[in-house]
Amino acid sequence: MVTVPTRRLHDGTTLPAIGLGTYPLDNDEAEREVAGALEAGYRLIDTAMIYGNEAGVGRAIARSGISREEIIVTTKLPGRDHGYEQALASFEGSRRRLGLDYVDLYLIHWPLPRLDQYVECWQALIRLREESVARSIGVSNFTAEHIQRLERSTGVLPSVNQIEMHPALPQHELRGFHEAKGVRTQGWRPLGEGRALLEDPEVLAIAERHNVTPGQAVLRWQTQLGSVPIPKSADRGRQRENLDIFGFELTADELIRISARSPHRIGPHPEDYEEF
């Protein structure tokens, strides 16, 4: 089993340096794939209410035989439940579906600026943390301006901002803001669009130099930049491969070369996306 280092958050908790994403698995698929991932050594599992697989994730955890304290579970507040009371009720629904006494990391999934209720949601998350039913709280797909508003309004910074991050969207400016504020970056869609990136000659050459796969090289790129990637894979071999990225080190030049590609966002932009 691969030993995975941890990353400390500003609230004193820690995250494994890589996790498993579960979108778009259904409950049965999530139960099966999360069970395999836990067996392989993953200890950070990422889900969301909107994914529709919290129950499956919870069943896999319950049947794993692994101590609950060893597993970090992330889930997220959906746009349909923005608002203070709505957020509290939504969290209880997620906790019930997961079958857990507490959630390790609870995130606001999208800011939905048009609704302008993400500050109220954040106030609800602060309450959940104070009540110890959410060990850490954070956000997902927030801009620097959104996070600054949370800080001005409540005095509390997110422990994590989970954002789209891959070599075509390295998020240099936002990661710099995170580092200055002590917010940990998590990266979703860390392998970009997949084949186009993993067959890129530059990435292939770097991977060959280190005797690793292109996917391992890209995930190592992300961890060396301080981000916690959460790749999704339903293939057991690929799950193990994605986890085994800490036995080599990319050079500073290789980090730059992996990032040197045409900027490209795959997912929607946080300023205008409305997820309900």
- The residues near 212 (Cβ < 8 Å, ≥ 6 apart) are 220, 245, 248
32-78 pLDDT per residue, tens:
999 999 999 999 999 999 999 999 999 999 999 999 999 999 999 99
Residue 51 annotated as catalytic: yes
Task: Provide the pLDDT for residue 3.
Answer: 87
| Coil, strand or helix at 16 | strand
* Superfamily holding 6-190: NADP-dependent oxidoreductase domain (3.20.20.100)
Task: Provide the pLDDT for residue 276.
Answer: 79
Task: Provide the pLDDT for residue 261.
Answer: 84
For the chain, the maximum distance between any two Cα atoms, rounded to a whole number of angstroms, is 53
> Model-level pTM?
0.97
Look at phi and psi of residue 171 and say left if phi exceeds 0, alpha if psi is from -120 to 50, else beta: left
Q: What is d(CA 223, CA 273) in angstroms, rounded to the nearest whole number?
A: 27
Q: Where are the domains of the chain?
A: 6-190
Task: Provide the pLDDT for residue 2.
Answer: 81
Q: At residue 204, what are phi and psi to the nearest 5 degrees? A: -60, -40
Residues in the chain with pLDDT < 50? none
Catalytic-labelled residue, pool 51, 84, 102, 118? 51
Distances (CA, A) of 154 to 10, 103, 125, 137: 16, 22, 11, 13
Q: What is d(CA 46, CA 48) in angstroms, rounded to the nearest whole number?
A: 7
Task: Provide the pLDDT for residue 122.
Answer: 99
Task: Provide the pLDDT for residue 140.
Answer: 98
Residue type, 58: G
Task: Provide the pLDDT for residue 186.
Answer: 98
Question: Quick check: 129 and 184 in contact, CB under 8 A?
Answer: no
Task: Provide the pLDDT for residue 199.
Answer: 94
